[in-house]
């Protein structure tokens, strides 16, 4: 597995997003564990989760607990695995999503995530989504305090615009390790954030890179250019799509969600798949 950097941490060029294994329509635990083990077997060392990846209000941190348990039960070496989690986004249990960016809450959420994940510090902790009721600088100040206290090893932000990226970088004293924004063939409005991260040397983690768990299977139908390249090269449109992400910048690390072993096994092929400049241009224009 080829690798890329999040700050000083070397991780697999393709990560695994855990959200589909814990929200509505989630599979049984055995299949989820098998998916995580398959990822580890393929060399995946970046796992993305959040305390809000759950369904019911009494199971906050469901996905964190699932991922930590599966990694712990795998028989191989997990010393280089980086688990990235997020806080500041909540699910009250009625199907809605809410936000809470108060510094005291962000710190409380991080401490709770650390207990679920285990270890001395959270590998990468990301402020999940801006809270309109709280000054962004105050929320990021909580990340700075968590870094200084050693509760988290690396700090990141999610769903941020360029101004917020620059502000977070300033407040964290240059220690902003990652930005996690939605980016895919269907959703390209984060191109400016991707370019900024490339200029600053900050890891950019595209979430929903294949268009989401309900749309990923139809990617080739929705975007024929990806299907055309895939057919010519003998791979799936999903592999082409992830390779397209990787081609955009050496700082891009896609985190496709998966809930089946075969899905992540297919996705990791993108790390070894190189698009020609002509193919990349065609896909950019699709």
Helices and strands, number each (H, E), in the chain? 11, 11
Other Cβ atoms less than 10 A from the Cβ of 282: the count is 16
- What's the distance, CA 219 to chain centroid? 19
CB 203 within 8 A of CB 251: yes
Q: Mean pLDDT of residues grouped by 10 in the chain (286 residues)? A: 97 98 96 98 98 97 98 97 98 95 98 98 98 98 98 98 98 98 96 98 98 91 97 98 98 97 98 96 93
pLDDT, residue 286, reads 87
- At 122-135, the pLDDT tens digits run 999 999 999 999 99
* DSSP 8-state symbol, 212: -
Which CATH fold would you assign to the domain 3-219+245-274? TIM Barrel (3.20.20)
pLDDT, residue 13, reads 98
Domain limits, the chain: 3-219+245-274
CB 159 within 8 A of CB 130: yes
Residue 169, SS3?
helix
Furthest-apart CA atoms within the chain: distance in Å: 53
pLDDT, residue 119, reads 96
The span from the CA of 55 to the CA of 73, in Å, is: 24
The span from the CA of 15 to the CA of 18, in Å, is: 10
Residue 181, SS3?
coil
Concatenated DSSP letters of 1-67:
--EEEETTEEEESS-EE-GGGTSTT---HHHHHHHHHHHHHTT--EEE--TT--SSTT-TTHHHHHH
CA angle 27, 32, 38 (to 5 degrees): 140
Task: Specify burial of residue 14 (Cβ count, 10 A radius: 0-12, 13-18, 19+).
Answer: buried
Active site residues: 53
pLDDT, residue 214, reads 84
Q: For the whole model, what pTM was predicted?
A: 0.97
Other Cβ atoms less than 10 A from the Cβ of 3: the count is 15
């Amino acid at each position: 597995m080829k690798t890329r950097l999040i700050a000083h941490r070397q991780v697999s060029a393709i990560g695994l997003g855990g959200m589909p294994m814990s929200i509505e329509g989630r599979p049984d635990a055995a299949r989820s564990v098998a998916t995580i083990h398959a990822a580890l077997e393929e060399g995946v060392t970046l796992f993305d989760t959040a305390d809000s990846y759950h369904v019911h209000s009494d199971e906050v941190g469901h996905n964190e607990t699932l991922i930590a348990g599966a990694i712990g039960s795998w028989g191989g070496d997990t010393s280089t695995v980086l688990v990235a989690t997020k806080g500041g986004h909540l699910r009250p249990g009625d199907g809605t999503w809410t936000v809470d960016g108060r510094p005291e809450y962000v710190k409380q959420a991080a401490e709770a995530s650390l207990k679920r994940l285990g270890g001395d510090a959270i590998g990468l902790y990301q402020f999940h989504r801006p809270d309109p009721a709280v000054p962004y600088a105050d929320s990021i100040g909580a990340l700075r305090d968590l870094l200084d206290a050693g509760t988290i090893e690396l700090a990141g932000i999610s769903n941020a615009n360029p101004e917020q990226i620059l502000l977070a970088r300033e407040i964290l004293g240059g220690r902003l390790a990652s930005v996690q924004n939605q980016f895919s063939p269907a959703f390209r409005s984060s191109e400016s954030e991707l370019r900024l991260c490339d200029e600053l040397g900050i890891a950019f983690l595209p979430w929903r890179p294949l268009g989401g768990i309900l749309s990923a299977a139809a990617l080739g139908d929705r975007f024929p250019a990806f299907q055309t390249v895939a057919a010519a090269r003998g791979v799936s449109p999903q592999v082409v799509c992830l390779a397209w992400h990787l081609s955009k910048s050496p700082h891009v690390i896609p985190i496709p969600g998966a809930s089946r072993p075969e899905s992540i096994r297919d996705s990791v092929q993108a790390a070894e798949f190189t698009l020609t400049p002509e193919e990349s241009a065609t896909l950019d224009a699709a």
